[in-house]
Structure 1
């Protein structure tokens, strides 16, 4: 029973860790409240959280070696709760919503790192692997539930959608009661290891990180523009946006499960496939705007993302030494955060160069961007696969 309570405490954290996605369901409503704000200014509601999450992720890893992780989790949850509820009471200026996103991002980044560390410390062997899988399921499932709830609450007023962050209070109670403080206290060995010299990150890690960064620039177009696109095309309301984002997250679960099979068959070409399938989904929005194509684009985007991110981790495991692994993973996650945060700046700037732009222009821009990236990743896949095969010893006959 005790072990079940500990698992519940860990999984409850995973359930709320992607709460920042709540903002994606009300972006169109926020744009209507601030008609003088530019498209990029509205999208920064999402990107501010992504930007804040990155340094918090790195800092949480350091703090985990010196502070009790239960205290870190409670701090992260409290920051997310304060940030999430801020727009409920202060929503007449964009700066308040930006501040909300920054606080949510700090809490999210801190929580993501700490959850992984806690699972690594508390569970071993097959049980640990099972917990990793359950965390992914709860993370995606929690995202779906919260976006659906936010979509329903925001029907009359977009700021009411932020009441969904109140779910975090339940998580805080579960963590307080069931996560044992003594089990997640800092260990002297870990602190000593933290002070040890770090191995340099291999060049190959920077290369895969750059490719994933570029993919995230094109991929993030959907989450940043879905709400605005659905509203401008008259295809639905905040509940419709929540359903679309939920489909994307749900497809991501499926993509994560099938990644091992895909990688076994097509190896690193899986990144090319991810770029291509995401581009096809966005192309449908350009060719035939409808709620059906919105849902199809959501599904393809979710699949593309869930196939591409694990590839980077797989590539790092093949190229980095054990001493380089920690710094390599940190650098890799930095690339993904930068790509998502830079997406509105780059895609909007490129879309602005297209004459007679309309509401689907950003998706057309992403299609072209991802198509070019598909070609680049095919060349990269051929070269790296060839180099890998050449370095492997011949199989004895």
Structure 2
């Protein structure tokens, strides 16, 4: 029972960690409320959260060496709760929405790093791989629930969608009751933290982080553009967007549970599969634009995300030493935040080079971006998978 409670406490955090995706369901409504704002300015509602997540992941990695992770988690949850509820009461200026995203992103970044560190410390071997997969599954499952709730609330008024963040209160209670403070920061880890400056992040971690960063640049196109695409094509309302995003995260649940088995077969090639599946879904959206294909693209994106993120965590757990783990996870999560934050800037800029641009241009740009990345990951997988027996992938030159 004790082990069940610990797992429940960890997975409850994963359940709400992607709550920032709630904003993606009402981006089109936000654009209507602020007609003078540019496309990039509207997308910044999502991007600001990702920008705030970047330093938070790094800080959380450092603090995880010295502070009890239970208290770090509680602070992160409070930041997300306050930031999430803000637009429900203050929404007449775009700056309030930005402030909300910053608070949510700071909490999310802190939580993502700390969750990974907690699982790495508390679980070993196959159980650890299973937890990585289950975390991704709960992460996506939580997104499904929260976005469906947000979609229904948005039918009344788009600002009410943010009330879905109230679900975080349940997670706070579970963490307070079931997450053991004494097990999250064992004495041997605290003692090791005294030598933290010597525990440098391995070069291979940075390379893995760059690959995941690039994947997030291509992957994030869907969450950033789905609402605007569906609205511009006349395919639905916020509840339709919520359904599309829920299908994406729902597919992520399946991908998360399937990750351990897929990893045993494909090893590092899991990342290649993630890139190819995501690119394939976006290509179908470009070639056959319809609400059915939107849902299909959402599913492929969810599968790609649920395979790529735990693959990075798995690779780092095999590469970094226990002393390096906290900082390594912080650095890794920072790369995911950078990729998501940079996505609209890079993809929109590249899309500008395509003539006769339309609603599907950004998705076509992402397809090209992900295809190039797929080729790169093939070479990375060949080089690192040959060392899977030693669990020490080499540092790329």
1:195 corresponds to 2:158: no
Residues 53-202 of structure 1 mapped to structure 2, 5 A cutoff: 53-118=53-118, 134-176=134-176, 178-179=177-178, 183=182, 189-196=188-195, 197-202=197-202
Cα distance, 1:219 vs structure 2:
0.8
Matched residue of 1:51: which SS?
A: helix
Residues 358-397 of structure 1 mapped to structure 2, 5 A cutoff: 358-385=358-385
Moved more, 26-35 or 66-75: 66-75
Structure 1 residues 160 and 75: CA distance shift in structure 2, 3 A = same
Q: Is the CA contact (8 Å cut-off) linking 2:143 and 2:246 kept in structure 1?
A: yes
CA distance in 1, matches of 2:293, 2:280: 11
CA distance in 1, matches of 2:353, 2:310: 34
Structure 1 residues 20 and 73: CA distance shift in structure 2, 3 A = same
Cα distance, 1:52 vs structure 2:
1.4
Gaps of 5+ in 2: 393-397
Structure with the bigger RCO (C-alpha within 8 Å, sep 6+) is 2
Structure number with larger C-alpha Rg: 1
Q: Is the CA contact (8 Å cut-off) linking 1:11 and 1:135 kept in structure 2?
A: yes
Determine the structure 1 residue equivalent to 2:215: 215
Aligned CA RMSD, in angstroms, stands at 3.1
Gaps of 5+ in 1: 393-397
Structure 1 residues 72 and 24: CA distance shift in structure 2, 3 A = same
CA distance in 1, matches of 2:256, 2:4: 25
Deviation digits for residues 141-180 of structure 1, max 9, x if unmatched? Answer: 221110000011112321110011122223334444x247
Cα distance, 1:284 vs structure 2:
1.1
Q: Is the CA contact (8 Å cut-off) linking 2:133 and 2:260 kept in structure 1?
A: no
Deviation digits for residues 250-298 of structure 1, max 9, x if unmatched? Answer: 2112222333443444443332222222111111111111111001101
Cα distance, 1:7 vs structure 2:
5.1
Structure 1 residues 249 and 9: CA distance shift in structure 2, 3 A = same
Matched residue of 1:358: which SS?
A: coil
The TM-score, its normalising length taken from structure 2, stands at 0.87
Q: Is the CA contact (8 Å cut-off) linking 1:68 and 1:181 kept in structure 2?
A: no
Cα distance, 1:4 vs structure 2:
5.7
Cα distance, 1:227 vs structure 2:
0.8
Cα distance, 1:378 vs structure 2:
2.6
Determine the structure 2 residue equivalent to 1:272: 272
CA distance in 1, matches of 2:319, 2:69: 31
Cα distance, 1:306 vs structure 2:
1.8
Moved more, 193-202 or 209-218: 193-202
CA distance in 2, matches of 1:387, 1:23: 42
Determine the structure 1 residue equivalent to 2:395: none
Deviation digits for residues 342-364 of structure 1, max 9, x if unmatched? Answer: 00000001112222211111001
Structure 1 residues 268 and 75: CA distance shift in structure 2, 3 A = closer
Q: Is the CA contact (8 Å cut-off) linking 1:67 and 1:185 kept in structure 2?
A: no
Determine the structure 1 residue equivalent to 2:285: 285
